[in-house]
Amino acid sequence: MLDEAALLPAEEELPEDHRSGFVAVIGKPNVGKSTLMNAYLGQKVAIVSPKPQTTRHRIRGILTLPNAQIIFVDTPGIHKPLHKLGEYMVKTAVAAIVDADVVLFLVDVSQMPDEEDELIAQTLKKRYKGPVILVLNKMDLLKPEQVKPHTEAYLALGDFQEWMMVSAVTGDNLDKLRDLIVSFLPPGPRFYPKEQITDVNERFIAAELIREKALHFLRQEVPHSVAVVIEEFKDRSPDFSYISATIYVEKESQKAIVIGKNGQMLKKIGQAARREIELALGRRVYLELWVKVRKKWRRDEQELRRMGYVAPKV
C-alpha cells in the first residue's frame, strides 16, 4: 500500500530564523492606515476614501516573505466617539493593540500632533508593553521647513523603539519599514498559507466595496450614516455571482439622496461597486441594491449587532 503522507505536497522548508506575528496599524482617522496595508499587499484589501473613519472593522492583511510572515491588522481610527458605532470602532482598535506583537503608530507628519494623537500615545502607554514603531506617514506632503519641528513634536509623544518617515502613496521607505517590522517580530512559523492575503470572506469584501463607493459619491453627513448588509450571495456558475445588498441610512431624507433623481445616484454607486467587486473576486457579478431606513442605527446597540458591529471585550 502507498503511504498517503507521501502523496501530499511537501511543506516548504522555512529558514531557521523565520519570524511571524501580528502588527497592529493604529492612528487617528485619515492618516493612511488602510493605504499603507494595501501598498504592502499590492492590492486593495481595506477600502479607502478621503473621508475620516472609513475603516470600521479590524481587517487582517497577510504579507508572506521568504524569511517572515507579517499579519497586518488594519484598525478603525481612534477618536473621541460620538455614538455607539464610534465606541465600537475605538474598542476594536484598542483590542488590536492588546493582541499585537508589534504596533505601528501611524501619524500624518505633514500636520503637527493634535489631541487625538496625544490620546493614542496615552492609550499605548497604558495598554501596550511591546515594541512600538512611530511611522511618520505622508512625507511627500511635508515642507522642508516642517521636517525638524514636526518630527520632534511626534517623537515627544512617547518612548518609541524606532521611527521611520514614509509615504504610503508614493512608496518611499516602505521597504525599509518592512525590514524594520520583521526585525521586531518573534521567531515563529507561518500562520497562513503563503498565497493567502486576507482572512475576510467575499461577502465582507463586497459589502465594504459598496460602502466605499457610497463614501466616494455621497457628501456631508450622509456617507457616515451608511451601513451595507449583504442579503444574498449566490454563485450561479464558476465565473458568475449574484449579490443582493441593502444600504441602510438613518433618515428618509438620506434615503432620497442615496437613491438620487430617477435613481441615478444608486445606479452610479452600483455600477462603480460592481466593477470593483468583479476585480476583487475575479468573476462577473450581477449586483442588486436596495435602500432602507433604520433610524439612529449608529446609536442603537441592537441595530449595530444586527449589522455585524459586535465590539470585542477590552
312 assigned to some structural domain: no
Do 208 and 177 fall within a single domain? Answer: no
Q: Which domain holds residue 237?
A: 202-306
Indicate if 35 and 172 belong to the same structural domain.
yes
Q: Is the dihedral of CA 139, 142, 144, 147 positive or negative?
A: negative
Q: Please indicate, yes or no, whether residues 120 and 247 belong to a single structural domain of this protein.
A: no
In a domain, 143, yes or no: yes
Q: Which of residues 158, 184, 210 is at a domain's end?
A: 184
Report the pLDDT value the prediction gives residue 101, as an integer from 0 to 100: 97
pLDDT at residue 5 tops 80: no
223 in a structural domain: yes
b/e burial code for range 236-268 (CB count within 10 A of at least 16 → b): eeeeebebebbbbbbeeebbebbbeeeeebbee
| Polymer length in residues for the chain | 314
What's this model's pTM, rounded to 2 decimal places? 0.85
Binning pLDDT at 50, 70 and 90, where does residue 12 land? low
Q: Which ranges of the chain does DSSP label H, i.e. alpha helix? A: 4-7, 33-41, 84-99, 115-127, 147-155, 174-184, 202-217, 252-259, 264-281, 301-306
Does residue 206 share a domain with residue 175?
Answer: no
> Which of residues 122, 154, 184 is at a domain's end?
184
The pairing of beta strand 132-137 with beta strand 102-108: parallel
Residue 1 belongs to some domain of the structure: no
Q: What CATH number corresponds to the domain at position 286? A: 3.30.300.20
Establish if 272 belongs to a structural domain: yes
Same domain, residue pair 160 and 273 = no
pLDDT at residue 48 above 60?
yes
Q: Is 122 inside a domain boundary?
A: yes
Torsion of CA 87, 92, 93, 95, to 10 degrees: 120
Assess whether pLDDT exceeds 90 at residue 80: no
* Contact call for residues 56 and 309 (beta carbons, < 8 A): yes
Give me the percent of the chain exceeding a pLDDT of 90: 73
Are β-strands 68-74 and 102-108 bridged in parallel, bridged antiparallel, or unpaired?
unpaired
Identify whether residues 62 and 155 lie together within a single domain: yes
**Cβ atoms < 10 Å from Cβ of 200:** 17
Q: What pLDDT shows up at residue 4?
A: 40
Name the pairing type of β-strands 227-237 and 240-249.
antiparallel
195 lies in some domain:
no
Quick one: 214 and 168 in the same domain?
no
Is the per-residue pLDDT at 46 higher than 70? yes
Out of 135, 150, 184, pick the residue that ends a domain: 184
Q: How far is CA 173 from CA 65, 73, 104, 272, 309, in A?
A: 17, 20, 14, 32, 35
Q: Residue 176 above 80 pLDDT?
A: yes
The secondary structure of 65-112 as a DSSP string is -SSEEEEEEE-PPP---SSHHHHHHHHHHHHHHHH-SEEEEEEETTS-
pLDDT tens readout for residues 195-243: 999 988 999 999 999 999 999 999 887 888 999 999 999 999 999 999 9
Same domain? For 153 and 232 the reply is no
- Is the pLDDT reported for residue 10 higher than 60? no
- Those residues with Cβ within 8 angstroms of residue 270's Cβ, 6 or more apart along the chain or in another chain: 210, 287, 289
Number of structural domains found in the chain: 2
Residue type, 254: Q
CATH code at position 32: 3.40.50.300
Q: Which of 36, 308, 7 is nearest to 166 (CA)?
A: 36
| 85 & 135 share domain | yes
Same structural domain, 24 and 112: yes
Q: What is the Cα–Cα distance from 117 to 4, expressed in whole angstroms?
A: 56
Instruction: Confirm whether 13 is domain-assigned.
Output: no
Task: Let me know whether 169 and 258 are in one domain.
Answer: no
Tell whether 179 and 232 lie within a shared domain. Answer: no
